[in-house]
Chain A
Amino acid sequence: MIKTVGVLIALVALASCQTYVDTTSPPTLTVFAAASLQPTFDRIAGQAHVDARFNYAGTQTLTVQLTDGAQGDVFASADTTHMTTVQNAGLIAGTPQVFAHNRLEIAVAKGNPKVIHSLADLARNGLVVVLADPSVPAGKYAQQALAKAGVTVKPASLELQVTAVLNKVALGEADAGIVYVSDVSTSAKVDGIAIPDNQNVVADYPIAALKNAQHKGTADAFIRFVLSPDGQSILKAAGFEPA
């Protein structure tokens, strides 16, 4: 008797979880998006009138989640390498499309108190420089840019996503960090120092619907909007370069 009650309680508890999830999901789109897309994709979803739930994280984290079986509708990556990994795992429907480009910039505190003008300045002694880990797209790009500039930097930390690099600079804990142009333009707390084209790296952002998407129609509509002139102008306003 008591056993049945116990099992019943457990079942009711589980069932109520289920209902809770169900009530919140009239076609809610689940979008796995690179951390650097954070404020911009919120705006795009608002404009597109899509009720979207975003899973923002470093692209490398999203890739692991997806290849380990996470359920989602759309994947927007900060590089083509990780998109290819997910595609090779047989998880992508159709062909990924590049919807934006991004470049790197040096983020510094407002007013640039440490007088940083170039990548070479980042090698200066006593400067706290934070980068993204090389497993993160932004970290890999930063390494490429530093190599092109012939600069060796001793970072204080290798952050797990580019937004964490930005935050460390915004909080004043780091003197400089290498982030995307779009990160600087969407943050009110940092200034950006441009990196010349011959040292810079262009990041390609591909997007695709996932094969096991539960809302295929909405997923395609969302991707179409991202690629439409309206979507592209939102991306442009946020500092991305249109596809």
Chain B
Amino acid sequence: MSQARVPAPLMALAGLGLLLFLLPLAGLVVRAPWGQVGQELLAPETATALGLSIFCSVTATAIALVLGIPLALVLSRTTGTLRSVLRALTTLPMVLPPVVGGVALLLAFGRRGLVGAPLYQLFGVQIPFTTTAAVIAETFVAMPFLVIAVEGGLRALDQRYEETARALGASSWKVFARVTLPLLRPAIFSGAVLCWARALGEFGATITFAGNLPGRTQTVPLAVYIALESKPEGAIALSLVLLAVSLAILIGLRDRWLGAP
């Protein structure tokens, strides 16, 4: 069987689209101080920022998995207006400018915020300017990507498997754990990858809600922004490091988990 051919005009547009992604990347690669990349990677500030970035983005993805899969399940099982409202609310962080999201997080979890004020007054807990805040900011911005992907997967699911399991007497929890979850694996995986990637690149909500302090809230995107002025070469090197780490993980995981589709 011959492979379906992509019409020439679509090929042309796809090429243009690809170019839009590739040109800025080429800019980075061309301007990169290649001799300096290794040195940059070994600099203690870089290691600190990279470590923090990986910690925050992985934690955010883990939280998104724990909260997002149930949320997607609820979304896929509700109907009508309620679903439209729930969906709109879930996707809000995707359309909200991240800086606005950061302000909203301050108004919720800040020292004078809806939840933050009682937390501060009763327990003396302050969330802004902590690593927790950076994780919350990343989760807030990135979780919708997971929810949308998993909900899509749920709706494409052949419900007869679940029905059969139920008919054979499995409890609703058992159906979820033994049938739904395994069937959802590809959707969960791609959602988690998108979510993680978005969290890794997060800038606006983090700087607004968590601030910028090396070792505590200064993730790689913030470090790059700061370095851009004082040592642009270092900023480019740092961007490349982030890029390489992301690419390596994306490609590596995809092949391992999905058997290279």
Contacts and interface: CB of A to CB of B under 8 A. Distances in A.
| Binding partners A and B | yes
Interface of A: 2-3, 5-7, 10, 60-61, 63-64, 128, 130, 133, 135, 155-160, 164, 168, 171-173
Q: Which of A10, A60, A157, A164 has the most CB of B within 10 A?
A: A157
B212 A160 contact: yes
B217 A157 contact: yes
A225 B230 CA distance: 32
B8 interface: yes
B179 to A, nearest CB: 45
A164 B207 CA distance: 10
A213 B132 CA distance: 46
Contacts of B144: none
Interface string B76-116: 00000000000000000000000000000010001110000
A135 B226 contact: yes
Contacts of A173: 106, 110-112, 128-129
A159 B211 contact: yes
Given A157-B211, A158-B213, A172-B112, 20 more contacts: A3-B9, A3-B12, A5-B9, A6-B9, A7-B12, A10-B16, A64-B229, A130-B211, A135-B226, A157-B129, A157-B210, A157-B217, A159-B211, A159-B212, A160-B207, A172-B110, A172-B111, A173-B110, A173-B111, A173-B112
A160 B213 contact: no
A64 B110 contact: no
A58 B159 CA distance: 55
A3 B228 CA distance: 41
A156 B9 contact: no
29 contacts: A2-B7, A2-B9, A5-B9, A6-B9, A6-B12, A6-B13, A61-B228, A61-B229, A64-B228, A64-B229, A128-B126, A128-B129, A130-B211, A133-B226, A135-B226, A155-B213, A156-B129, A157-B210, A157-B211, A157-B217, A159-B211, A159-B212, A160-B226, A164-B207, A168-B211, A171-B106, A171-B110, A171-B112, A173-B110
